[in-house]
Structure 1
Amino acid sequence: MRIVELTLPVSDTHAVSAYFRDVLQLHVEDHKIKTGWSTLILRAAGKHPVGGVHLAFNVPDNRFADAMAWLRARTPLQHDRDGKDHFALESSWQSQSVYFTGPDGLILELIGRRRLPASSRTGVFHGNELTCLSEVGLPTADVPATRQAIGTRFGLQPLSTPSAEFAPMGDDEGLLILSDTRRRWFPEQKDLPNAQGIEVVIETRAGTSECHDAAQGWRVRAR
């Protein structure tokens, strides 16, 4: 599954555009941020609340150490309660991650996935090496029911064993992270999930369909 477009409500489109351009070194034009096959579209939040939104970007796993050093020099990293700022997962994830806080309290993540192709790049890391927008957090009051709806409409399966509070739907290239509305985001575990006004366009093998959560204000469409 690929996230090809994501519309993100923000408090200040100019300031958030500048962050993605100047801190993360991504290509920005007319409040649209391009990274690989993904486009992040910024729009004025209006009545929608900001904060508590989770987004992740894929990084070639063999470049992860360089990416982490690059990021650490540009912005503070998030830590868990034990002070860790680097998180490796085995089992079905086969990944390593680092988290940081973006504008409007975005919970951002760089993630290297071992099963994806390695990069031929060497030397100092640059933001243009981010390969795609790979995750978006979608809160729901009923994770099992939403998981079933997304599985039926988009043909997506959980990447890891789902629970009543958490279900990552998709694969290494793209995940819809279903989270219970009361489950705070890792690693700092202080922010409740929010996706009010978020619109996601994905590509799947299952064809076109749509799923939305009126109470939580998000919508996903496959094209």
Structure 2
Amino acid sequence: MRFERVSIPATDPDALSDWYGRTLGVEATGDGVDLGETTLRFEPATESAPQHLALRTPADSDALTAWLAERATIHPVEGAQSRRFDFLDADAVYVADGAGNVLECLCYDGDAAEPLAGGVPIAGVTEVGLPAPDVLALVEWLESAVGLSAWGSPSESFAWVGDRQARFVVLPAGSEWYPTEQVADSEPISATVVDSDATPGTYEHPELQYEITVGKP
């Protein structure tokens, strides 16, 4: 799966676009930013709970950590500035973006490390959080209505829908975004994905403010 576009709410879209531009060195597009193969849009909102996004960052994890430590607030994991995920073959660095969203930068072992010359190299968005009152019910909708597939074994407390390249992170509303105490809650989120097994079209969840568009591969 691949994310072409992701939209999340923001109380100050211009300020948030500016944060991504200044901190990551990416190009702002008026109401959002270009993050590799993904366009991230910020939709105006009067208020918004913190969201979770993960970016695939082909950079050396130590160099990335040093870069972010000078420009953002890093969320430590058990006292460390990064976390190793052996099952992903990746190192993760978590930071708070300009609106307090939990931003995860994932450095995969198989990616050739690019230099951080004026900005952070970004391949695209690789995770989008979708809090839900009922995790398994949202997974079922993503599978049966949208045509996506769960990755791994979904549970009532956590599920991935997508694949190793890109996925939705489904967790209970009211729980906390790892590794912070930020409370996850459902907000209006839309995304355009490309998945060869899903049928192109736009799908609106009947209860939650989630809209998923499946584009053509």
CA deviation string 1:136-189 (max 9, x = no partner):
10011111122122123444333333221110111222110011113211112x
Go from structure 1 to structure 2 and tell me whether the alpha carbon gap of 1:195 and 1:58 turns closer, same or farther (over 3 Å shift): farther
Question: How far off is 1:110 after superposition?
Answer: 0.2
Q: Read off the aligned partner of 1:64 and give its amino acid letter.
A: S
Does residue 136 in structure 1 map to residue 124 in structure 2?
no
**Which residue pairs with 1:57 in the alignment?**
55
Q: 8 Å contact 2:173–2:186 — kept in the other structure?
A: no
Cα RMSD of the aligned pairs, angstroms, is 2.1
Q: 8 Å contact 1:194–1:216 — kept in the other structure?
A: no
Question: How far off is 1:104 after superposition?
Answer: 2.3
Between 204-213 and 191-200, report the one with greater CA deviation. 204-213
**Which residue pairs with 1:118 in the alignment?**
111
TM-score computed with the length of structure 2 as normaliser: 0.88
Q: Structure 1 unaligned segments of length 5 or more: list them.
A: none
Question: SS of the residue aligned with 2:74?
Answer: coil
> 1:64, 1:153 → 2: CA distance?
38
Residue among 191, 194, 201 paired with 2:185: 194
Does residue 85 in structure 1 map to residue 81 in structure 2?
yes
Go from structure 1 to structure 2 and tell me whether the alpha carbon gap of 1:85 and 1:121 turns closer, same or farther (over 3 Å shift): closer
Q: % of aligned pairs identical?
A: 21
TM-score computed with the length of structure 1 as normaliser: 0.86
Q: 8 Å contact 1:55–1:135 — kept in the other structure?
A: yes
Q: Read off the aligned partner of 1:204 and give its amino acid letter.
A: D
Question: SS of the residue aligned with 2:62?
Answer: helix
Between 17-26 and 66-75, report the one with greater CA deviation. 66-75
Question: How far off is 1:11 after superposition?
Answer: 0.8
Go from structure 1 to structure 2 and tell me whether the alpha carbon gap of 1:120 and 1:15 turns closer, same or farther (over 3 Å shift): closer
Question: How far off is 1:211 after superposition?
Answer: 4.2
> 2:70, 2:183 → 1: CA distance?
27
Aligned residue pairs: how many? 214
Question: SS of the residue aligned with 1:192?
Answer: coil
Go from structure 1 to structure 2 and tell me whether the alpha carbon gap of 1:143 and 1:150 turns closer, same or farther (over 3 Å shift): same
Q: Structure 2 unaligned segments of length 5 or more: list them.
A: none
> 1:159, 1:65 → 2: CA distance?
29
CA deviation string 1:73-127 (max 9, x = no partner):
21121024x3233111123x3322111111222111101233xx522634x4553
